[in-house]
Amino acid sequence: MKNLIIIGAGGFAREVFWHAQNSAGFNSDWQIKGFLDGDIKISAEEYKKLPAPLLGDIDSYKICEGDIFTCAVGTPGVRRKIIERMLERGADFVNIISNEIYLSPTAEIGRGVIIVHGAEISELAKIGDFVILNSSVTVGHDSEIGNFSCVMPHAVICGGAKIGAGVFIGANATIIPKVKIGDGAYIGAGSVVLKKVKSCAKVFGNPAIEI
């Protein structure tokens, strides 16, 4: 039996603690050991809310035999830095995939992803490494999501859309079919993206415009 360690100690990390218990592998392959602080420090009151022990921080924690990791940090740039540091130290990341999703048998799923309840991943979709798909996200046929991207609740990525690496897509946003979004872009909550978004751009609105 392996020991899952959740990187992060904020609200999303607490959510991942519960999502993990409804995911493939829980109690059969691994159990939850506790949390590690990431780069964003939280208040003492927030630490008290953690439902499992705080084991230290990502730099001081000594990786033990049987440890496996997931990163519950939702800001793509910070998430990437933390994961890369942990990979350099030999950390083994696993997928946390809810038992309550629709996953096409033709879809491709990368390493270290978090996919929570209600998500739908359609035919020939490709999900990169260390991606977060939050609750009730729809990923259409033949679409792609790049490494380290984070998609918030109820967002819709329509068929053939191409999402770059390190992209943040806010809650209830819609990416229409075949649109391309460049690396590091930020899509505001509720936005409807009708055309290409360049790398590192921040867009918002319906239709989405750069701000």
Active site residue ranges: 141
Place of tokens 């008290």: 48
Residue 5 · residue 112 · CB < 8 Å: no
Angle formed at CA 137 by CA 180 and CA 74, multiple of 5 degrees: 80
Place of tokens 């259409």: 140
Going by DSSP bridges, is the β-strand pair 126-127/162-163 parallel, antiparallel, or unpaired? unpaired
Going by DSSP bridges, is the β-strand pair 114-115/96-97 parallel, antiparallel, or unpaired? parallel
Give the CA distances from residue 99 to residues 18, 42, 74, 196, 203, in Å, rounded to whole numbers and listed in that order: 12, 30, 21, 34, 33
Determine if the peptide bond prior to 207 is cis (ω within 30°). Answer: yes
